[in-house]
Amino acid sequence: MMKMSNISLKLSQNHQRRQLEKLSKELPTNILDLIDTRNFQYQEAINQKHSLPLFPQGNNGKYDFPIGYSTYEYHEVDNIPDLIHKIELYELCFNSDCYIKLSNEAPYIYLNKSNTKQFIEAYINNIKIEYRDLILFQSDYKKGLVIDSYCGYLEIPTENGEKEIVYEVISWAKI
């Protein structure tokens, strides 16, 4: 990973703070009540500590899944009800405080361990209305969840697939 110059780092951090301010105005109160937007980590700090890749790489029409995890699950779905079902199947139980990211350009926001289950429930209720990407992981980086989307189609689309959107759900744990 290439080191950023001081000015580049300051510009990036300033941009992340501004995106967090914007995000704080956009998020529904049932989510804002569970997170502490004053307590956050910049992307650069998190990226230095957690260096394992999160997404599989395509190779000749097949996925090469990242190594370094004790468990790693990856699923693609093409509609919100199936996405919600996949999230609920994981029944994730986090053992420490967490960080979340609800926008690619915002920093990682602190989430108290006692609010994690409520946060996931609130997130699920809100994606029924408005989809939002999510990265959620324990502060010790031992367990996490990523929900992302991209423009495309599944090889075998479902009957109720939405437009041209594929949702990715990733769950991981490290020993």
Instruction: Give the count of domains, the chain.
Output: 1
Confidence at residue 115, expressed as pLDDT on a 0 to 100 scale: 93
Helix, coil or strand: residue 157: coil
pLDDT value at 1 more than 60:
no
Assess if residue 1 is contained within a domain.
Answer: no
Confidence at residue 156, expressed as pLDDT on a 0 to 100 scale: 73
Q: In angstroms, what CA-CA distances link 145 with 6, 20, 138, 169?
A: 31, 20, 9, 7
Range with lowest mean pLDDT among 49-63, 115-129, 140-154? 49-63
| Residue 80 belongs to domain spanning | 6-173
Q: In angstroms, what CA-CA distances link 5 with 8, 11, 40, 104, 112?
A: 5, 10, 21, 21, 32
Confidence at residue 92, expressed as pLDDT on a 0 to 100 scale: 73
User: Which has the higher per-residue pLDDT, 36 or 53?
Assistant: 36
Assess if residue 62 is contained within a domain.
Answer: yes
Q: What is the mean pLDDT of residues 18-41?
A: 94
Range with lowest mean pLDDT among 13-27, 36-50, 156-170? 156-170
Confidence at residue 162, expressed as pLDDT on a 0 to 100 scale: 64
Confidence at residue 61, expressed as pLDDT on a 0 to 100 scale: 64
Q: What is the mean pLDDT of residues 102-118?
A: 93
Assess if residue 114 is contained within a domain.
Answer: yes
User: Which has the higher per-residue pLDDT, 113 or 157?
Assistant: 113
Confidence at residue 165, expressed as pLDDT on a 0 to 100 scale: 87
Tell me the pTM.
0.84
Confidence at residue 52, expressed as pLDDT on a 0 to 100 scale: 64
Q: What is the mean pLDDT of residues 118-128?
A: 92
Q: Tell me which amino acid residue 58 is.
A: G
